[in-house]
Amino acid sequence: MLEITDLKVQAAGNEILHGLNLSVKAGEVHAIMGPNGSGKSTLARALSGHPEYQVTAGAVRYLGEDLLAMAPEDRARAGVFMAFQYPVEIAGVNNSYFLKAALNALRKHRGEPELDAMEFMTLVREKAKLLELDASMLNRPVNEGFSGGEKKRNEIFHMAVLEPKLAILDETDSGLDIDALKIVAHGVNALRSPDRAIIVVTHYQRLLNYIVPDFVHVLSDGRIVKSGGKELALELEDKGYGWLEGEPTGAKA
């Protein structure tokens, strides 16, 4: 589904990813772990097409297409979703109005009929229940006045409604208490399916107790230095990241 080859990315003139390789197949859940500054979020943002992250070398193939040549909205329409580490507050834009516009943009792209207000509300109520989202959050401006936990839950709620093929969760667990973490994980797990892949970017192992990954990769200084199964996450929890530094390997998944 996703094939990243020798990816180099810079932000504000500094190279952050120094040649990253990763292969993700449909149905798999990959966790990307690593210390702060290792390049985890840079990878997530580069994949979603953030304009402040420039790809200077390498290639990313997504379902056989050149992902890097696509505008952010085209990536979304092709089924890529990123849950933001810092969801943006958008004053005056109603959360469900925005989500309906987004969903219908995706449906239109797929040649499906747009949902009317009634159909959309039925869908949204069902997904809101999954994320234990308060109904009032649907009619508030996007993320405005949301608590940190509400913002993260809202991201996963968007994901549940948009049903991407490839979901990238950028530190969705950071700042969440254990109850919110379980709700978020439950929402993500509900979306696991053989034709969908999920990349979980996280600093902490705890989320992976609830979203159990098929593969764990450790990112250090812009490269994947170790890859393994879910037990690697536990090992990292035990030993920290220190023991891995300066141990570059190719990532095979």
Partner 1 sequence: MTQLVEKVIGTEPYLADVNRVRPDGPVWLRKTRARALARFSDLGFPTTREEDWRFTSVAPIVQRPFRLAPADPAGVAAADLAPALFGDEGVVRLVFVNGRYAAALSDVSGLPPGVEVGDLGAALASRPEAVEQHLTRLAGCAQAFTALNTAFLEGGALVVVPAGVVVEQAIHLLFVSAPGNGPTVSHPRVLVVAGENSQVRVVESYAGVGDGEYFTNAVTEVVAGPNAVVDHYKVQREQAGGFHVGSLHVALARSANVTSCAIALGAALSRNDIVAVLGGEGAECTLNGLYLVDGTRLVDTHTTIDHTQPHCDSHEVYKGILSGRGQGVFNGKIIVRPDAQKTDAKQTNRALLLSDEAQINTKPQLEIFADDVKCTHGAAVGQLDDDAIFYLRSRGLDLAQARTLLIQAFAGDILGRIRIEPLRERLEAEMLKQLPGNGTV
Asked if 90 interacts with partner 1 (CB under 8 A), we say yes
Interface with partner 1 (CB under 8 A), residue from 6, 65, 66, 73:
73
> The sheet that has 53-62: what strands, in order across it?
14-24, 2-11, 53-62, 65-66
Q: What's the closest the beta carbon of residue 235 comes to partner 1, in angstroms?
A: 33
> The sheet that has 29-33: what strands, in order across it?
80-83, 166-170, 197-202, 29-33, 215-220, 223-228
Interface with partner 1 (CB under 8 A), residue from 8, 18, 25, 109:
109
CB atoms within 10 A of CB 246: 8
Q: What's the closest the beta carbon of residue 77 comes to partner 1, in angstroms?
A: 5
Asked if 75 interacts with partner 1 (CB under 8 A), we say yes
Angle, vertex CA 82, rays to CA 167 and CA 103, nearest 5: 85
Rg of the chain over all Cα atoms, to the nearest angstrom:
18
Asked if 92 interacts with partner 1 (CB under 8 A), we say yes
Measured from the CB atom, the residue of 101 and 135 that comes closer to partner 1 is: 101
User: How remote is the C-alpha of 33 from its chain's centroid?
Assistant: 13
Q: What's the closest the beta carbon of residue 160 comes to partner 1, in angstroms?
A: 13
Asked if 101 interacts with partner 1 (CB under 8 A), we say yes
Which residues form the interface with partner 1 (CB under 8 A)?
Answer: 48-51, 71-73, 75-77, 81-82, 84, 87-88, 90-93, 98-99, 101-103, 105-106, 109, 141, 158, 162
